[in-house]
Amino acid sequence: MARKMGVFTILAFTLYGLFFYWYLFKFSSSALPFEYQGTSADPATFLNGRELGLSEEYSKTRNLLFFLSSPWEWLFYILIMLTGLNSCFKQWAEQATKRKIFRTPIYLFWFSFVGYLAALPLGLISYSLSKTYNISTQTFPSWMKDELIDFWINYGTLLIIVPVLYYLLKRSQKRWWLFAWMLSVPFTLFMMFVQPVLIDPLYNDFYPLKNKELEAKILTMADKAKIPAEHVFEVNMAEKTNAMNAYVNGIGSNSRIVLWDTTLNRLTDDQILFIMAHEMGHYVEKHLYIGIAGYLLLSLVGLYLAHVLMQHILQKWSRVLKVPSPDDIRSLPLILLILSVLMFGSSPLSNAVSRYQEARADQYAINMTKNPQAAIGSFQELTRAGLSQVNPPFLVKQFRYGHPTMLERISMLEEYQIQHRKQ
């Protein structure tokens, strides 16, 4: 039975991959509707022929890697249960020490390490792809350093969450999901609070914006929006990427306005001010807190569904999966599998909410700056720097895009320009 299930799983993954290869490379099209051709949203008006070709090639391959990554993770979880490797992790932990308190950390290390090795091929392909298309400027040793930081942060997070989770499972197999969710609320807020000052600096160096004149303009805008910001931070990303970004993260006193140095190097001050106004729009409309509330609501539903589905699956395939009960540590891959599938399945909904918020932030930014030419130029330059598609295929938009497409964003700005030209 385990062999049949394994063969079926691998076959399903193969067919899934072939479907998305056909969809992305043969069936779908990113061509613009006729009415948008020749407008500022048409990539042919701001990209040369070579850039257009590279954008299509890079986007299609990157999108394929995205659609393969989650099922690849699911395949890993299923196969380590079916093959008994998951039971080996537990056995190795039991053989390594007589003290139960150390067995879970040892199990988690082997689980995380083998999972890291399983994910490494797709990571290497993604890194190689971004280097080939000159998106990434990062050296391989630097990339591996970031990968190792990822590994230890993920391992440390599991080391905090998993012992608590299985304590709850042993105490109450019917209500563990509710208690786990209740504990996740302060933990999520704590992680958001410490991320800007403890986690982000592990990857990059942050320092106050060097351009004090630009910082003064940004802080003036922040003051008008009643945002309590004293500094704008710059991060050295040029040694890792040619892409551009700006964001506000953290909560409370640890919130930060951050600009990548690539953004500072490639955009004009007016374009940067539009992007900063966009980020301020999120603050003014409280998108961060709405996002936290939405995430916590989805996590509550997700944990409940994980409880129900795990009970149902173990009733049918407990012996095949070699997971005797929900409170056995060997159920961890099954819990993570279910949660990952639920997150992937719910991503069109969460992305739709995010796109709405991003569109609101765009509208706020253009109303604040009243400079549509600078705004359009910033989006065009973002498209060029990231070799992104202006009008991505439907499934790519639904599952990948937390922002409106560049076609939608630039078209909104053109409409604003036309309306205010008449006034």
285 annotated active-site: no
Which residues 6+ apart lie within 8 Å of 96 measured at CB? 102, 103, 106
Please tell me which residue in 362, 381, 408, 415 is annotated as part of the active site. Answer: 362
Q: By C-alpha distance, which of 240, 244, 230, 241 is closest to 272?
A: 244
List residues forming the annotated binding site for Zn(2+).
278, 282, 358
Which is the catalytic residue, given 279, 285, 327, 414? Answer: 279
Report the binding-site residues: 278, 282, 358
How many C-beta atoms lie closer than 10 Å to residue 355's C-beta? 18
Place of tokens 């299985």: 166
Q: CA-CA distance, 275 to 245, in Å (whole number)?
A: 9
**What is the DSSP secondary structure assignment for residue 44, as one 8-state letter?**
G
Question: What is the amino acid identity at position 24?
Answer: L
| Residues facing residue 259 across a β-bridge | 234, 246
Assess whether 279 carries a catalytic annotation: yes
2 contacts 320 by C-beta, under 8 angstroms? yes
Scan for tokens 């440390």, then name that residue.
Answer: 156
Q: Work out whether strand 256-260 and strand 232-235 pair parallel, antiparallel, or are unpaired.
A: parallel
Cα distance between residue 168 and residue 179, in whole Å: 7
* Residues 39/411, Cβ–Cβ less than 8 Å: yes
The residues assigned a catalytic role are: 279, 362
